[in-house]
Amino acid sequence: MARVYDAQTLQGIVDSIAERMVGEVERGVVANYIPELATVNLNQFGIAIVLANGEVICAGDAEVPFSIQSISKVLTLTLALERCGATLWQRVGREPSGDPFNSIIQLEYEKGVPRNPFINAGAIVTADVVLEGQKPDQAVDQILDLCRRAAGDDDIFVDQNVAKSEAQTGHRNRALAQFISAENNLRCTVEDTLSVYFRQCSIAMSCRQLAHLGRYLALGGQLAETDDAIITQERTRRILALMMTCGAYDASGDFAFRIGIPAKTGVGGGILGIVPGVASVAAWCPGLDNKGNSLLATRALDDLVRQAGWSLFTGDVHFSLEE
Ligand code: GLN
């Protein structure tokens, strides 16, 4: 099937998706293990697309900020790769875990080297890489700077209430970090590393801002406006591969099967999806399924990608099959 690239057709598609989502009764459940996230109104849905040429298409609550949570792990992976290149893979793996995002079970078997940078244990290691040699506040500023630069928007902040809520209830994350530290895979203290991790997860952004942010991943690491690069094309390719195989935790296989684009989900209900060379898409609806991924944002991406022919496994056929 031919891929859809024109903004007007896409606007029609996302308008009808947003309309349908308003009427959905089954909306999943908000992440209640972080008390501040449990206060978010379930009846919100937003979607935004930023095309490779910069055109923006939005529908629903696309301007409402929400907690990006694990989507921030893409940012720390970007910074950690820039910082230590391929040596990063000595400290964190790149295989899907097949376990829930906050699972501790593999850490012991695998001697404190987390399976991938997108489960919590792996993201704690990448936060530690970013933190090394500076103060936690500076590391958080560095993550926010990348976020603002990539999104082309200075109006992006950490939600301090969410950060506090995470710090107060983050017992599992503390257990993960302590274990990694016991295996000598943290360079900074557990509390400093977690103070970065909790704050990166608590960055608040709207779908529109998030879709802008993801554009560098759709453009091979480049910021189109300035010819400035956030990261090399080679590393962008690696990040996208990890998003495809590990971005939705133990639902990543199902996600690739249903949707077929690299994506990163977060327990705030957001999903960032990348169609390489074509578009960056952000969808948000706070209710989660039993794997911790947004029920309706997943469904919205499924609808959009199917209607736009954007699955990486669809593709236009460029040669004739005759003869
Ligand atoms: N801050 C959340 C946690 O550490 C992030 C998890 C997620 O979004 N999957 O549990």
Say if residue 187 is in the same domain as residue 163. yes
Please report which confidence band the pLDDT of residue 61 belongs to, taking 50, 70 and 90 as the band edges: very high
pLDDT surpasses 90 at 318: no
CATH, residue 191:
3.40.710.10
Domain that holds residue 91: 70-201
Please tell me the number of Cα atoms within 13 Å of 250 on its side-chain side. 12
Averaged over 73-78, what is the pLDDT? 98
Q: What percent of the chain is modeled with pLDDT above 90?
A: 91
The predicted-structure confidence for 159-202, as pLDDT tens digits, reads as follows 999 999 999 999 999 999 999 999 999 999 999 999 999 999 99
**How many residues in the chain?**
323
Catalytic residue list contains 249: yes
Residues 6+ apart with CB under 8 A from 247: 118, 255, 262, 263, 264, 265
From 4, 30, 249, 305, the catalytic residue: 249
From 14, 130, 197, 278, the catalytic residue: 197
Catalytic residue list contains 67: no
Our count of domains for the chain comes to 2
Give residue 227's pLDDT.
73
The secondary element (H helix, E strand) that includes residue 47 is strand 46-51
Say if residue 173 is in the same domain as residue 272. no
Give residue 322's pLDDT.
66
* Averaged confidence pLDDT in the chain: 95
Judge whether 89 lies within some domain: yes
pLDDT surpasses 90 at 2: no
| Phi/psi at 145 (5° precision) | -60, -45
- Closest-CA residue, ligand 1 atom 2, reads 69
For residue 227, what are its two tokens? 């010819």
DSSP 147-208: HHHHHT-S--EE-HHHHHHHHHH-HHHHHHHHHHHHTT--SS-HHHHHHHHHHHHTEEE-HH
The predicted-structure confidence for 99-138, as pLDDT tens digits, reads as follows 888 889 999 999 999 999 999 999 999 999 999 999 999 9
For the ranges 25-29, 95-99, 162-166, 222-226, the lowest mean pLDDT is seen at: 222-226
Report, in angstroms and rounded to the nearest whole number, the Rg of the chain calculated over CA atoms: 19
- Count Cβ neighbours within 10 Å for each residue of 53-65 and write b for 16 or more, e otherwise: eeeebbbbbbebb
From 166, 197, 289, 298, the mutation candidate for ligand 1 (largest count of ligand atoms within 8 A of CB) is: 166
Judge whether 321 lies within some domain: no
Single out the residue in 166, 201, 236 at which a domain terminates.
201
The predicted-structure confidence for 237-282, as pLDDT tens digits, reads as follows 999 999 999 999 999 999 999 999 999 999 999 999 999 999 999 9
Catalytic residue list contains 73: yes
**Which residue type is seen at 17?**
I
pLDDT surpasses 70 at 323: no
From 180, 202, 267, the mutation candidate for ligand 1 (largest count of ligand atoms within 8 A of CB) is: 267
Say if residue 106 is in the same domain as residue 170. yes
To the nearest 10°, the Cα dihedral for 71, 77, 78, 83? 150
Cα 46 to ligand 1 centre (Å): 20
Cα 70 to ligand 1 centre (Å): 5
Instruction: List residues near ligand 1 (CB under 6 A).
Output: 69-70, 101-102, 120, 166, 173, 201, 266-267, 292
The predicted-structure confidence for 138-156, as pLDDT tens digits, reads as follows 999 999 999 999 999 999 9
Residues 6+ apart with CB under 8 A from 129: 76, 79, 80, 83, 84, 88, 91, 187
Catalytic residue list contains 5: no
> Residue with structure tokens 């609550």?
61
